Amino acid sequence: MGRSPCCSKDSSLNRGAWTAEEDLILSEYIKIHGDGGWGSLSQKAGLKRCGKSCRLRWLNYLRPGIKRGNISGDEEELIIRLHRLLGNRWSLIAGRLPGRTDNEVKNYWNTRLSKKQALPKPESAPSPGDHLPVKAKAVKITKVRNKFVGSGKLNHQSMKSIDAAQTVKIPELLIDEFIADTNSDIFENMVEWGCPSIQNNYQYCSQDFRSEGMSSGQSEQVSVLQNNMEQFESFTVADDQGIYSGTQQRHFVDDFRYSEMSRLLLSDSEEDWKENFTQF
DNA sequence: AAAGATGTCAACCGCGACGTA
DNA sequence: CTACGTCGCGGTTGACATCTT
């Protein structure tokens, strides 16, 4: 679709660093009239700035509650874990760090953490993966597209005899990569729902989704969740103990997912989360 | 002390999603 | 359905600060 005319082409507008006076004008205007409608806001406020520039300045600098600098160890750890799950989705990551902006998180990652992450880990030093369940940490999984899904004839034993010619091999992944790959939508939805805890998430779902019906948007999100769950069952998950299928496979993957997500969301206990989410 | 290298971070840019007429 | 405007996102830039030689 069409793009807005680029304000950078307008030479009558100020560019570059904001002055204290401009900051004051913008803050005072938003205090009275609220934010939004950035295109016209700059004109109404009497600023020679394009709407985009005003929006950015407000969101990243002037907005109340912004924390700047001094990212704590806890925050740093959370950024690393979220980045492992979500990749460069800075706004989602920043959404889990109160007072931090996507720009700050992005800058922090690019200038500090990306280099740190690239360094080889010393053998004796604790690694980010040390908090993972033993089972998941030790295991490499193979995704094998299962041509028999839905036949209803497979059990754990028959899965072991699947002929290589009847399957399509997908490159091996570490389990957390697999989880990140298949769960990002679920996680993203949870973040976007703005649920501060798993318990709230469940209450939200039970109250709005079940009792009072769903909006089309909510219905769509539920579909995404269901599709993701079905995805698990269209793959075979294997480790050196054997092949996991059906319920076993789901539990295997879910065990990891529950523990990781409950930590990430800094919420109720893992058991609460598991119980509540499976009911959903 | 000076010059070059490197780090930091605010701001810019272009794109895609979305809403609306 | 199309055209257009707005918004938000992520990649990139460039000015300034700090470090190193």
- Strand A242-244's sheet: what is its strand order? A168-169, A144-145, A235-239, A242-244
Mean pLDDT of chain A: 55
What pLDDT is attached to residue A278? 36
Which range scores top for mean pLDDT: A54-63, A134-143, A194-203? A54-63
Q: pLDDT per residue over A23-48, tens digit each? A: 888 888 888 888 878 878 888 888 88
A127: confidence class by pLDDT, cuts 50, 70, 90: very low
Residue with minimal CA–C1' distance to B9 is: A107
- pLDDT greater than 80 at residue A130: no
Residue A262 and residue A183: Cα distance in Å, rounded?
Answer: 13
pLDDT above 90 as % of chain A? 1
User: What DSSP designation does A148 have?
Assistant: T
Q: Say how far A112 CA is from B19 C1', in Å.
A: 39
Strand, coil or helix: what is A16? coil
CB contact set of A224 (below 8 Å; sequence gap of 6+): A185, A186, A189
Strand B proximal residues, A:98-117, Cβ < 7 Å: 103-104, 106-108, 110-112
Q: Say how far A162 CA is from C17 C1', in Å.
A: 62
What pLDDT is attached to residue A137? 23
Nucleotides of C under 7 A from a protein CB: 3-12, 15
Closest CA to A107 of A60, A143, A150, A64: A60
Q: pLDDT per residue over A231-260, tens digit each? A: 443 444 444 444 444 444 444 444 444 444
Per-residue pLDDT, averaged over A198-222, amounts to 37
A102 touches strand C (CB under 7 A): yes
pTM of the model: 0.54
A7 touches strand B (CB under 7 A): yes
A246 touches strand C (CB under 7 A): no
Element (H, E) at A153: none
CB A158 within 8 A of CB A229: no
